[in-house]
Amino acid sequence: MKRHDELERLHNMSDEELRGEAQRLKESLFRLNFKLALGEVDAVKTVRREKKSLARIRTMMRERELEQAVK
């Protein structure tokens, strides 16, 4: 998925959906770390992609939190 499309999808999600997506990515990263420990080279690219997605979600959650604090 292109970054722009992913950002658009994330902007359209509610706060609860973002939290759920963040939780799903955390669990996925946990499993991928096991694969890395076992030597599966294919997991490296997926780990990077999911770490970036998780960072984007956390950033959006923080932005929304700050917007609510200002209001």
Domain with residue 55: its CATH number is 1.10.287
> How many domains is the chain built from?
1
Q: pLDDT tens digits, the chain, 71 residues: what are they?
A: 577 888 888 888 999 999 999 999 999 999 998 888 888 777 788 889 999 999 999 999 999 999 999 87
21: its two tokens:
């997506």
Tell me the C-alpha distance between 69 and 63, whole Å: 10
Amino acid 1: pLDDT: 57
Cβ–Cβ < 8 Å for 34, 46: no
Structural domain range at position 52: 3-70
